[in-house]
Amino acid sequence: MPTVFCYGLALFVCSLVTQVIVWRSGPIKNQPARLAFIFLILPIFLMSICEASALSHPNLPPGTHWQSLCLAYLLDLSLSLAYMLVYSAVAAFSPSIAILERVEENMPQGLPREELVPPWFSDENLAGARHHNLVSNGLVSYRDANLVLEFKGRFVARCFLIFRRFLGLPDLAKG
């Protein structure tokens, strides 16, 4: 079992290092596809290479059983999905994090409430980047100067609405 844990963790770390290298190399238009490839498909490719190389070298310990590989991938998958969900919060502008950073800059004396709203709490920072992402990923589009949901956007909105209702949370669009 420790081998499964180490193998699953190693798969996730390889994916994470790959993600950081790709992310730092420049902007990529389709981030969800990139994340899915790096964190969901790349580990399967790495596992198959490791198994193939272990089979071709008789001096190496015997290959991991397929059940162990599945368990390692399950650990990698759970870590990867958690990372992918947190990624958008880390990469995007967050008003809460911005407030914390602004207050932290003024420690130990603190920051008066009236100075809390910095100039970068603009419409572009708060909604512009999100709007651009929705349009570029095909979730919304313009028709007659109005934003309209595309099929993918309708699907995502309904899924989150159902999930929020399941949790007993209010609908966000109704304020």
Query: Buried (b) or exposed (e) across 109-118, using 16+ Cβ within 10 A?
Result: eeeeeeeeee
Question: For the segment 71-106, what is each residue's pLDDT rounded down to a tens digit?
Answer: 888 999 999 888 888 776 666 666 666 777 777 777
Q: How far is CA 71 from CA 31, 66, 144, 151, in A?
A: 27, 9, 51, 35
Of the listed ranges 1-15, 53-67, 77-91, the least confidently predicted one is 53-67
Asked whether residue 27 carries a pLDDT value surpassing 50, the answer given is yes
Q: pTM, whole model, 2 decimals?
A: 0.54
Question: For the segment 106-153, what is each residue's pLDDT rounded down to a tens digit?
Answer: 778 877 777 776 666 666 666 677 777 788 888 888 888 787 888 888
